[in-house]
Structure 1
Amino acid sequence: MSRGGYRAHTSGQPRRPRQVWLSEEERAVIERAAAQMELTPMAFVAAAGVRAAKAATGSETAVTEKGSAAVPLDVAQARELLDEVRRLRRLMGNVAGNLNDVARHANSTGQLAPETAAVLDFVRRTNERTDAELMGLLRRLR
């Protein structure tokens, strides 16, 4: 993203102004999305339009300012991915809590609790599941 919420001028070609007619509801949605991405509403519309056009026509992949390939996602897809990542983070938080319980017991008594093997097995299974889900998410982004 460029300074001040405007898109970066990467093409080096002159730009011409365009008008977009929006309903009040459409404008409100665009303004909210633009604010979340720290862009002006028109910079958001231009970037989203170009991204959607490239995806629809199968033309070259959009490139972000940092040089990595951008993946065209609609809002619903982005929310779905975000929900999945949040779910995985919660799951990993539960795993960390279980490990802390095992460590606390071992530190206070000098012995491993009887459920230690089950907790460690749960950690291994959760890590495998998390890795598989993250790989699935990465495949969706390609």
Structure 2
Amino acid sequence: MSQDNPTGRRESRRRRANVAGGRQHKHEVKVSPEEEGFLLRLAAEQHVTVSRLLVESALMSGAAETPTERKNAIATLFGLHRLLASISNNVNQIARATNATGEVHTELRATLDATRRTAERIDRAIDGLSLP
């Protein structure tokens, strides 16, 4: 089941991609109000419909995460990568100024703290992934 979007748009889809010939089978699932709230919350967190959440969860029962969860984790890692690149640029600028003047700038501590926090966020994101 491909999640590719033929129009080339990069935003994520809430619904699953169409399949040739359409989907021929339909299943009805009755849930309690509490279960409905839980399903709606999970679907909203993953930015998918409840139907897609149920299908992905069932079909990926042997895996620790659905394709949508994995895609969201990868997007988080890319965001952290961009953040780390920005911090690295700041460290380089501070190092260049420190080498030129011999003075340690006050931004150094804040930048190093930001680097440490970002590294910890990356560790948490990686810990959240299930690896084979």
| TM-score category of the 2 structures, normalised to the smaller one | 0.3 to 0.5
Structure with more relative contact order (C-alpha pairs < 8 Å, separation 6 or more)? 2
TM-score calculated relative to the size of structure 2: 0.47
Bigger radius of gyration, 1 or 2?
Answer: 1
TM-score calculated relative to the size of structure 1: 0.44
- Structure with higher helix content: 1
